[in-house]
Structure 1
């Protein structure tokens, strides 16, 4: 009988209340009817809307929480409930979000990784140091970095990434512009005796050494670091070539087809 009485009043309100779009009116009706049904489920239905007290609302919110309803959904429901109760002249104290212990959890903003393209120079272990150097100074992927062979891929004035090791199975060439790049390639030749890093050091051992180095320097393991090459080349080439040609050169050297991918690299 109590449930019927509450429903009757609510139905009259919903019939007369035409504020908002169809979707808003449907949501309003759903929440108010759910409120009545859930008060009945709890076993504490007031005689009428005039008899509803703050403890009814607190029990209702606790019931929703126990049923794993999201906090944001409960807060949206309560906005409708409070508006409805005010509309039928039923003001109840202590049913604001704070009193009901409702608050939206704010997501922590992702901390931007601060790392320079020459970060590798401070690394002690030569294997991960050279892998990082090849990513940040030549724009190679991890797999490309560990599989280039000095006698095949290192040319006099460039690195030739052949399709058998390229991430996109397409040949590409990265020119040698700086003395730092020459020093990196010379070190690889001396260290690996003409072999690729993966052949010289074993693939699994190389991966392990790489992960240990990243952990030591507090860097994410799953991240690709060749974006630092894109940022470095953008700063270097922009005054020389202009924006359009700089973008084209970087995408060509890194094997990037999508402009969106380049934009993400430059804004990492």
Structure 2
């Protein structure tokens, strides 16, 4: 038994959550994970060592092994239990879809892409307006669109995001391809100067609170659909056809040649969105 497996055994003995069947399944699942992580090259791990890369490595390993979504959900429930017990709940996304594991009902939920609403211009804070524009033009997450420092990120032909701005600390590049992207960046430069789009006198938490309040005042709420719109626009550009979620051909109906192009496009889009797994693009593009 490796060190991580030993930690799991002790955790399960101390925490008798759920029925006996649940406890047995959880213990068995966690022991298997300790061995899988060791096989994947993560040696000498302890329970407190849990990081996003370990969760993603497990999900990718299970995917490659042909594990069904239903089984993946069960295993992720055990990973969340692990994360909770070591005080790292934030390491595992609350929504399985963030890991490319969609609920059965997801495919019927329709296209979640959204373009910039005209009401954005009524928001009485131009920094927040620009953050929303950057979310649409570059597929940025909300936090990234606030923490970004245009003076250092703008490399002329690409946007380089530093790990301190991004989820999981992953640096990434996003190509600057269009005039609207350049216009958005020029506007961000003017507002941020050498800093970020968070005012110097405010913390991220304070600015986020203002962001949420002003969006609510404008009648807007979650704007994650802007990332969906970016992904679908890139898919159209890279493949020459609309994404399945936008009314395009479903993946199962593609020719072998089209499947190759589809796969390559999804890998590109996944990286630009800050992911490394092709499977997660079904959330944005459909299947």
TM norm structure 1: 0.51
Give 3-state SS (helix, strand or coil) of 1:173's partner: strand
Provide the rounded CA distance (Å) in 2 between the counterparts of 1:231 and 1:114.
Answer: 10
Shift of 1:221: 3.8
Shift of 1:191: 1.2
Provide the rounded CA distance (Å) in 2 between the counterparts of 1:130 and 1:201.
Answer: 18
Alignment check: 8 A CA contact 2:112 2:284 kept: no
Q: 1:181 to 1:223 in 2, by over 3 A?
A: closer
Alignment check: 8 A CA contact 1:120 1:129 kept: no
Q: 1:237 to 1:216 in 2, by over 3 A?
A: farther
Match of 2:121 in 1: 123
Q: 1:113 to 1:251 in 2, by over 3 A?
A: closer
The structure number with the bigger radius of gyration is 1
Alignment check: 8 A CA contact 1:127 1:206 kept: no
1:259 matched to 2:278? The reply is yes
Provide the rounded CA distance (Å) in 1 between the counterparts of 2:274 and 2:236.
Answer: 19
Coordinate RMSD, CA, aligned = 3.0
Higher relative contact order (CA 8 A, sep 6+): 2
Alignment check: 8 A CA contact 2:267 2:277 kept: no
Provide the rounded CA distance (Å) in 2 between the counterparts of 1:143 and 1:164.
Answer: 10
Shift of 1:209: 3.4
Gaps of 5+ in 2: 1-107, 242-259
Moved more, 210-219 or 255-264: 210-219
Match of 1:209 in 2: 210
Match of 1:45 in 2: none
Provide the rounded CA distance (Å) in 2 between the counterparts of 1:169 and 1:218.
Answer: 32
Q: Deviations over 1:16-56 (max 9, x none)?
A: xxxxxxxxxxxxxxxxxxxxxxxxxxxxxxxxxxxxxxxxx
Shift of 1:212: 3.1
Provide the rounded CA distance (Å) in 2 between the counterparts of 1:192 and 1:220.
Answer: 24
Alignment check: 8 A CA contact 1:117 1:232 kept: no
Give 3-state SS (helix, strand or coil) of 1:116's partner: coil
Shift of 1:219: 3.3
Residues 12-31 of structure 1: pairs in structure 2 closer than 5 A: none
Provide the rounded CA distance (Å) in 1 between the counterparts of 2:158 and 2:208.
Answer: 26
TM norm structure 2: 0.48
Provide the rounded CA distance (Å) in 2 between the counterparts of 1:235 and 1:160.
Answer: 23
